[in-house]
A and B are shown apart, each in its own frame.
Chain A
Amino acid sequence: MLTLHQVAKRFGDTAALHPLDLTVAPGRTLVVIGPSGCGKSTLLGLMNGLIAPDGGTVHFDGRELTAETLIPARRRMGYVIQEGGLFPHLTAGANVTLMGRVLGWDRDRIAARLGELSALTDFPADALDRYPIELSGGQRQRVGLMRALMLDPDLLLLDEPLGALDPLIRFELQAELRDIFRTLGKTVVMVTHDLGEAAFFADTILLMRAGRVVQQGGIDDLAERPADPFVTRFMEAQRGRWDGRGAGGGG
């Protein structure tokens, strides 16, 4: 689905990402995790071309991302960010259907797709006419997801999608979101700094530190076969969060 070959990025004197090879398998969920500044958001930005690599290539569905292929490729990649990144001048419904209108879909097709998506995300129909500022945090996140799914993309990129929500809403949405991914069978790349969330969603976890991948594998691999003392330290620091003992950290 997505192949990164020797992709690297510097911001000024700092290497945000050292040369990296990565393949994202179709229909699977890859969660990228690590402490702040480890390069995980940079990695996500490189995948849909929001960030141009200093070196290396990114291939999406067999084609290299270039100036020409970028826009069609992005239309096949849904992208969700914290708080949804909703356009404040458009209503919830207009945010979701924006790309349908840009592509010249007819009214019925747009209305039908909007109906499907609000059913899928359990979003109340009467709230579709509200502006983002009039919605709750959880509702905004659902709108962001619907907008990303509008064109039925092959790949979903999520950058800390639930980061700004309070714990209860977040807990509910995590469950709903996983159900949606399973229902749709999408390829998903999610960035988070929360190990519990990573464990909950991931087929594969990519643990990063200072612009490098420390370990890649399932949650059990990381817990039982740490590649580096840092992996253990990172797991320890967050363990309390997901086994229910001790003080909650990282939430």
Chain B
Amino acid sequence: MIRAAALAVFALGVLTGAGAASAAGEVRIGSKKFTESVILGEAARLLIAETGAIVRHRRELGGSRVLWNALIRGDIDVYPEYTGTLRAETLAGLGLKDDAALEDALSARGLRMSPPLGFNNTYALGMVESRAEALGIRRISDLLAHPNLRLGFGNEFMDRADGWPALQRRYGLPHADVRGLDHDLGYRGLRAGDIDVMDLYSTDAEIAYYGLRVLADDLGHFPAYHAVFLYRADLARRAPEAVAALTRLAGRLDDRSMARLNGRVKLEGRSEAETAAEFINATLGLGLEAQAASLWARLWAATLEHLTLVAVSLGAAILVSIPLGVIAFRHPGPGRVILGIVGAIQTLPALALLVFMIPLLGIGGPPAMVALFLYSLLPIVRNTHAGLHGIDEPLRRSALALGLGGRDRLFRIELPLAAPVILAGIKTSAVINVGTATLGALIGAGGYGQSILTGIRLDDTALILEGAVPAALLALAVQGGFELAERRFVPRGIAPQSRMA
């Protein structure tokens, strides 16, 4: 049994390792979990694919820190980044003065960046055009004359060192009515007249959509956030044509164009791939086609990814948990430790467990499988222990009195008697696993969670349902499957009474 457990761990290692190895020949692009980053990721994918290289885009992997770490580890080769973010956040400790210093710091870490794409997605302040016109406000300095204006800022902007606190000091802004709110809600508040001024990302599609005036940063407070493709230096050796492809958009994508592309996706509901292809074709005179996968193709791919996550993690969990439950039952001392540890793992929020895996195993399927594996242990270990513990004393005595050795007692008597309880534990684990696996998309593991994640970003209910409905159906199917297995494998003698008739 110990051997079976070791085998399971080994198999998990091989499977997860194989996942990483299969990606070695391809160029892997990552993107952050907001629309602009996904569009740029798609643009990179299309341009690199055009060179004939095998390329894969893992969308919406997370925030800047996750993408940066994934790039450093080599889980991905390329992702779109902003120079301001690198200088002011990621490498803030280095106090980099300009982009030349940034390039040196990057190459010291085995990274390079492409020439800037053109646009500068910096922070800005915005007002409704008509109101700004009426008050005669064009620049941020003009706000000094209107101390009674109501300011609403995104929560991140309120907190960031280069956000509101620094802006207020730099311009000496006297405003007292300042509140933090969700960035997307800010636009609605502005239109409804609940607030007068909000923070903007300068390439937000909503600027044009809501008819906003962007106030000039006349004191030059906000740093430049030039968009670049950040890539690993070894990519230039492995796939020089891919690196060359990344430079083709250099200087071709200005603020207005980027805002327009964002609008295509966020406001008009077009796909990121289509939007990126249209722009590339118009700009570079190419004839790229973004083959949008059909609903069924997407569902099939997501189902395969999801089932792989569940099958590998649950299979390994079963092979490890049952021996652990047996050990916990046979040796009460170590048993308390085992039950305590697997119980403690279960108290970690699934999301936290997934995120803990990133520094250890990077992003993608393997860390998600390990997190799901850990998460699936408790119900099976606990039910194995409880099932063995619940065997009637006379049966236990009979097994001993017959002269059965420990191994025969376990495999011929105890485990079969505990089987219904153990199966119930596996069923619980499986259903939890199917649901929790949707969170795997947050660290790039794909599956049904990917549609849910994209749907939330684009506020697209149909897309959310495209992930949520199959996930729910799969959970039901798994539950039904285990009930069938119970009928098949649990002997009549210990089946629930309802089936005896």
Contact = CB atoms under 8 A, between A and B. Distances in A.
Contacts of B403: 71-75, 77, 99
Given A98-B402, A98-B412, A102-B408, A85 B493 contact: no
23 contacts: A48-B401, A50-B397, A50-B401, A74-B402, A75-B402, A81-B398, A85-B395, A85-B397, A85-B398, A87-B395, A87-B398, A88-B417, A89-B417, A89-B419, A89-B493, A89-B494, A90-B491, A98-B402, A98-B412, A99-B402, A99-B404, A131-B493, A134-B492
B304 to A, nearest CB: 37
A133 interface: yes
B398 A89 contact: no
B394 A83 contact: yes
A139 interface: no
Given A71-B403, A87-B413, A132 B493 contact: yes
A131 B492 contact: yes
Interface residues of A, number: 28
A91 interface: yes
Interface string A47-87: 01010000000000000000000011111010101110111
Contacts of B399: 87
B352 interface: no
Interface residues of B, number: 22
Contacts of B413: 87
B500 interface: yes
Contacts of A193: none
A9 interface: no
Given A75-B403, A131-B491, A81 B417 contact: no
A90 to B, nearest CB: 7
Nearest to A150: B402
A134 B492 CA distance: 10
Given A71-B404, A87-B413, 15 more contacts: A50-B401, A71-B403, A73-B403, A81-B398, A82-B394, A85-B395, A87-B395, A87-B417, A98-B402, A99-B403, A99-B404, A102-B412, A131-B493, A134-B493, A157-B401
Which of B401, B408, B417 has most chain A Cβ within 10 Å?
A: B401
A28 interface: no
Interface string B290-308: 0000000000000000000
A134 B398 CA distance: 20
Contacts of A131: 491-493
B92 interface: no
Contact of A50 (B395, B400, B404, B405): B400
A71 B405 contact: yes
Interface string B473-494: 0000000000000000001111
Interface of B: 394-395, 397-405, 408, 412-413, 416-417, 419, 491-494, 500
Contact of B402 (A79, A88, A91, A134): A79
A81 B400 CA distance: 13
Interface of A: 48, 50, 71-75, 77, 79, 81-83, 85-91, 98-99, 102, 131-134, 147, 157
The B contact surface, by secondary structure, is helix
Contacts of A102: 404, 408, 412
Which of B402, B493, B494, B500 has most chain A Cβ within 10 Å?
A: B402
Contact of B397 (A81, A134, A147): A81
A14 to B, nearest CB: 19
Nearest to B492: A131
Contacts of A48: 401
A147 B395 CA distance: 13
B491 A147 contact: no
Contacts of A86: 398
A144 B412 CA distance: 17
A57 to B, nearest CB: 20
A133 B402 contact: no
Contacts of A85: 394-395, 397-398
A132 B401 CA distance: 19
Contacts of B417: 87-89
A81 B394 contact: yes
Which 3 residue pairs of A and B lie closest in terms of their CB atoms, listed nearest first? A131-B493, A74-B403, A85-B398
A134 B394 CA distance: 19
Contacts of B493: 88-91, 131-134
Nearest to B408: A102
Nearest to B401: A79
B500 A133 contact: yes
Nearest to B404: A102
Contacts of A132: 493
A196 B341 CA distance: 57
